[in-house]
Structure 1
């Protein structure tokens, strides 16, 4: 086998990857300060020729990453230097001008924008757009073929980026899948939070919550397929993800808040478990999407029949409202 290029290696799993030290002058950069000073990334490729090409591209991207980090460090150092030079001499009193400003205050130029300016740099905006593009494509691929059947090559083909950049942003297919799962759950939670239910009368708010849940499942069958796949995987890719747990806790809090309001107003009965109510709402909305084809095969009835959908939507709303009333 031909000698591998510098910083390219073959891992124990037979996949080609890169192994490169973080330059010493970047060790104090926030991105590398508390992390390993050796960067190890896999191309995902077993074929050496293909893997070397991907690895070389990854190394080029890494050099660009280092250059960007180095420029940011220079900006931080320049800011600190400027601030120190602007401090008045401790051994001399500052001259006060007629308008009340010291000579130092009146003459010094404005400070440069701080490092953590809220306006993203062009490269950062581009990286965010690339990540968004990858997530959208990956969601389609994983929803259609599951984790084991999906291929990173196919995901790359759906995007405006390359396979190396997918590994650069997410590290592995499994990590990309976990990010997609979090994105899928986040979609319905974001929609719920945008309803502003606290501004609606309680019963109307409950009705609206059920309607939006029904509509979201109907409009996003890929979400249902992804959740189904993850249950086949026994939830191992999302278990323990703190951000996912925290975000979905909002769903229970929303239901709990509506129940408390209804109880206080005397329009909902007491003692309803918010997890049970959330389960009741979600199960109906989920099953009519997940079981569409098996239902049609067994009962010769399409749950997505346009003429029947409005009746199904009203049925779950009515069922929930009757369940919560005294």
Structure 2
């Protein structure tokens, strides 16, 4: 009795993908809350009902898991930026949209802020050695570069700035709003994440960037 070799069951692949997803979800919180040194793979295994050996099977070691978390976090924001229909918007509206997307993403992903802060405390040790992360800055710069070139060609935007100038302004505002919310509130009595001020702060970001770009 003979039979052809059956392909791997799709269910096994789905279970594998789900396991990796769960590990990355828990690992994101663990690294964001405790930093790279403080995070424990044993704790991630416990929360995901798997084993340390299984985690290392998927990600090689703790550093591999941490890099995977960073890569997924950066890929999320780059995907959102890439979804913006800049061709259907004026240069000014396109810049406002990118700023708004960044504002919304950072607010909805506070773990991203803590992960970036952790990696900066480590002086970019892991991001420098990741081929994936090394390429993730390009899409953001290229997208803003396209918008800037259009605006500059139309005489709308100043010509003495580049895409990284704009990216820095947008990222700094959105990052500060969350990373410094507690010290800012303690010093000035203003909660930067107060829902009643959200629309004002989101609009202010767009106004600041456009005012900077159109100061000809």
What is the TM-score normalised by the length of structure 1? 0.61
Question: Runs of 5+ in structure 2 lacking a partner?
Answer: none
Deviations along 1:6-28, whole A, 9 cap, x unmatched?
A: xxxxxxxxxxxxxxxxxxxxxxx
Larger radius of gyration: 1
Q: Distance in 1 between matches of 2:65 and 2:211?
A: 42
Aligned to 1:213: 102
Aligned to 2:19: 130
Q: Are the aligned partners of 1:255 and 1:278 in contact in 2 as well (CA < 8 Å)?
A: yes
Shift of 1:180: 0.5
Shift of 1:167: 1.4
**For 1:285, what is the secondary structure of its paired residue?**
helix
Shift of 1:135: 0.6
Q: Distance in 2 between matches of 1:206 and 1:120?
A: 46
Q: What is the aligned-residue RMSD (CA, Å)?
A: 2.0
Deviations along 1:146-183, whole A, 9 cap, x unmatched?
A: 11111112212222433221111112112111111111
**Larger deviation, residues 230-239 vs 195-204:** 195-204
1:271 aligns with 2:160: yes
Shift of 1:120: 8.1
What is the TM-score normalised by the length of structure 2? 0.91
1:246 aligns with 2:152: no
Q: Are the aligned partners of 1:224 and 1:286 in contact in 2 as well (CA < 8 Å)?
A: yes
Deviations along 1:98-143, whole A, 9 cap, x unmatched?
A: xxxxxxxxxxxxxx9xx8xxx9833223222211111111001111
- Correspondence 1:53-72 to 2 at 5 A: none
Q: In the alignment, which of 173, 182, 193 is matched to residue 71 of structure 2?
A: 182
Aligned to 2:211: 322
Deviations along 1:35-58, whole A, 9 cap, x unmatched?
A: xxxxxxxxxxxxxxxxxxxxxxxx
Name the structure with the higher helix share.
2
**Larger deviation, residues 304-313 vs 180-189:** 304-313
**For 1:307, what is the secondary structure of its paired residue?**
helix
**For 1:239, what is the secondary structure of its paired residue?**
helix
Name the structure with the higher strand share.
1
1:304 aligns with 2:193: yes
1:234 aligns with 2:120: no
Aligned to 2:85: 196
Question: Runs of 5+ in structure 1 lacking a partner?
Answer: 1-73, 76-111
Q: Are the aligned partners of 1:230 and 1:237 in contact in 2 as well (CA < 8 Å)?
A: yes
Q: Distance in 2 between matches of 1:246 and 1:146?
A: 24
Aligned to 1:281: 170
Aligned to 1:82: none
Count of residue pairs the alignment pairs up: 212
Deviations along 1:268-309, whole A, 9 cap, x unmatched?
A: 122312111110110000011011111122222211111222
Q: Are the aligned partners of 2:70 and 2:115 in contact in 1 as well (CA < 8 Å)?
A: yes
Q: Are the aligned partners of 2:157 and 2:213 in contact in 1 as well (CA < 8 Å)?
A: yes
